[in-house]
A = this chain, B = another copy of it.
Amino acid sequence: MIVYCVELTTGTLGLARQSIEDIRKAELIEAALAVVAEEGHDAATTQKIAARAGISAGIVHHYFGDKATLLQATMRAIRKPVALAYAENLAARGLTEPVGRAALEACLEAHLSPSILTVRRAAAWLQFAARVAYVPDYARVHSLVRYRQVAALTRAVRPLVPQQSEAAQQGMRLAVALDGYWMECATREGGLRSGEARMAIDALLSDSIW
Q: How far is the CA of A176 from the CA of B41 in the complex (A)?
A: 23
Residues of B within 8 A of A146 (CB): 187
Answer yes or no: A9 CB below 8 A from chain B CBs: no
The answer to whether residues A183 and B129 also contact, given A42-B42, A177-B177, A208-B207 and a CB cut-off of 8 A, is yes
Contact yes or no, A184 B173, CB < 8 A: no
Tell me, yes or no, whether A67 is within 8 Å of chain B by CB: no
Is A134 touching B183 in the complex (CB atoms < 8 A)?
no
Q: Which among A101-109, A154-162, A198-206 touches the partner chain?
A: A198-206
Q: Is the CB of A176 within 8 A of B177?
A: yes
In the complex, which residues 117-160 of chain A have their Cβ closer than 8 Å to any Cβ of chain B? 123, 126-127, 129-134, 142, 146
Please give the number of chain A residues whose Cβ is less than 8 angstroms from any Cβ of chain B in the complex: 34
A56 proximal to B (CB < 8 A): no
Q: Would B183 and A179 count as touching, CB distance under 8 A?
A: yes
Taking a contact as CB atoms closer than 8 A, the residue among B39, B129, B130, B180 that contacts A176 in the complex is B180
**Chain copies in the assembled complex:** 2
C-alpha spacing A73/B173, complex, angstroms: 32
Among B43, B132, B200, B207, the residue within 8 A (CB) of A207 is B207
Whether A169 sits at the interface, judged by CB under 8 Å, is yes
CB distance from A119 to the nearest CB of B (A): 9
Please name all residues of chain B whose beta carbon is closer than 8 Å to the beta carbon of A126 when the two chains form the complex: 129-130
A178 at the interface (CB under 8 A from B): yes
Bound CA–CA A131/B186 (angstroms)? 10
**A interface, CB within 8 angstroms of B:** 39-43, 123, 126-127, 129-134, 142, 146, 169, 173, 176-181, 183-184, 186-187, 199-200, 203, 206-208
Name the 7 nearest CB pairs between A and B, nearest first.
Answer: A180-B180, A130-B130, A176-B180, A40-B134, A179-B180, A132-B187, A126-B130
Question: Can you list 24 residue pairs at the A/B interface with Cβ under 8 Å?
Answer: A39-B134, A40-B131, A40-B134, A42-B134, A43-B134, A123-B133, A129-B130, A130-B186, A133-B186, A133-B187, A146-B187, A169-B199, A176-B181, A176-B183, A176-B184, A176-B200, A177-B177, A178-B180, A179-B180, A179-B183, A180-B183, A206-B208, A207-B208, A208-B208
